[in-house]
């Protein structure tokens, strides 16, 4: 995974300055796959000081599109009926952005990638551009782009007033 | 129908069970090519000369010849290759011989802790933004606009 800050900043750049209201489910979607899979594994590794080789197989499903759609639907059920559809769409868009970024990274072994076609196939597919740890190098660049956008792009209220 | 309140509770339970079921399916029917170091120790004869990979193993110690790593139920022994490894975590890909891995590739993860720390920032930011936008209605058990 690229780190969560890279995911978050990319989402922030895409939404731009105008998106400030009721869009937090989109940002939740961009961090959701890692919150569900990586955080539990990191906690377990650090608590018990061992890497559970089999746990990874269970948690891997949280990076497969079909399971993520089901999870987004599950989360949407915890919202009011009139908000539900919108929240579901935002969550789906966020998780899709997450998966696209994850697809661009290298994996150490052929079976440690992401399960794109789960449960029909366990085959993974990547466009290997960078190692997971190298995502940290992108943070300063993304921050500069974000500051540039916030500085120069007029917000929606100003456009409406004009 | 899909997003309506009709049968909301049973739909939530069914979805949760489907996700759990898919998790167990993945756990049981995951890639068969995945041989763990633990498998090798349990059946050394079966695993001799097989290719295995150990991911993100913390380093216990290293000398000029060997790496000792933390793994499933006991240390993992790998022959060290190349320069001194200045990282807490390594991933080792290699073949299993005489209770140790002869590496074909060692990948270090020098920024793991920094990556974990940096990843906390968006979790907090998203959490705060979410709490500002929505509040939980305990009577109806739903989030609604704040």
B34/A67 CB distance under 8 A: no
What is the average pLDDT across A82-95? Answer: 95
Are B52 and B68 a contacting pair, CB within 8 Å? no
What is the average pLDDT across A34-57? Answer: 74
Dihedral sign for Cα B108, B97, A46, B55, please.
positive
Are B111 and B78 a contacting pair, CB within 8 Å? no
Output phi, psi for B89, to 5 deg.
Answer: -120, 145
pTM: 0.87
Output phi, psi for B127, to 5 deg.
Answer: -60, -45
pLDDT per residue as tens digits for the range B47-83:
888 888 888 888 888 887 788 888 766 788 887 776 6
Q: Which of A6, A40, A57, A70 to mutate to test the interface with B (most CBs of B within 10 A)?
A: A57
- The pLDDT value recorded for residue A162 is 59
Mean pLDDT of chain A: 85
pLDDT per residue as tens digits for the range A13-22:
998 876 556 7
Interface pTM, i.e. ipTM: 0.87
Name every chain A residue with its beta carbon within 8 A of the beta carbon of B51. none
Chain A residue at shortest CA distance from B90? A108
Strands (E) located in B63-115: 66-71, 74-79, 89-97, 100-108
């Amino acid at each position: 995974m690229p780190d969560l800050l890279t995911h978050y900043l990319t989402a922030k750049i895409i939404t731009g300055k105008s998106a400030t209201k009721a869009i937090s489910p989109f940002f939740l979607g961009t961090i959701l796959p890692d919150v569900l899979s990586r955080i539990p594994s990191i906690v377990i590794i650090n608590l018990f000081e061992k890497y559970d080789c089999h746990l990874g197989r269970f948690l891997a499903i949280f990076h497969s599109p079909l399971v993520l759609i089901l999870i987004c639907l599950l989360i949407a059920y915890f919202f009011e009926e009139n908000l539900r559809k919108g929240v579901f769409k935002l969550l789906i868009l966020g998780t899709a952005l997450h998966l696209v970024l994850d697809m661009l990274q290298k994996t150490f072994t052929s079976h440690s990638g992401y399960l794109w076609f789960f449960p029909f196939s366990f085959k993974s597919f990547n466009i290997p551009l960078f190692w997971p740890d190298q995502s940290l190098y992108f943070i300063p660049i993304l921050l500069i782009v974000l500051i540039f956008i916030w500085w120069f792009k007029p917000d929606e209220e100003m456009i409406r007033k004009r | 129908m899909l997003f309506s309140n009709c049968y909301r509770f049973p739909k939530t339970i069914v979805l949760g069970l489907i996700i759990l079921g898919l998790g167990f399916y993945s756990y049981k029917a995951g890639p068969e090519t995945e041989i763990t170091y633990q498998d090798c120790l349990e059946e050394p004869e079966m695993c001799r000369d097989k290719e295995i990979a150990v991911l993100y193993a913390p380093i216990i110690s290293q000398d000029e010849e060997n790496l000792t790593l933390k793994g499933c139920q006991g240390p993992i022994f790998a022959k060290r290759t190349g320069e001194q490894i200045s990282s807490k975590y390594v991933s080792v890909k290699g073949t299993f011989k005489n209770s140790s891995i002869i590496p074909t590739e060692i990948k270090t993860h020098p920024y793991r802790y920094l990556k974990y720390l940096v990843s906390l920032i968006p979790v907090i930011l998203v959490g705060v933004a979410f709490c500002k936008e929505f509040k939980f209605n305990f009577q109806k058990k739903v989030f609604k606009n704040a």
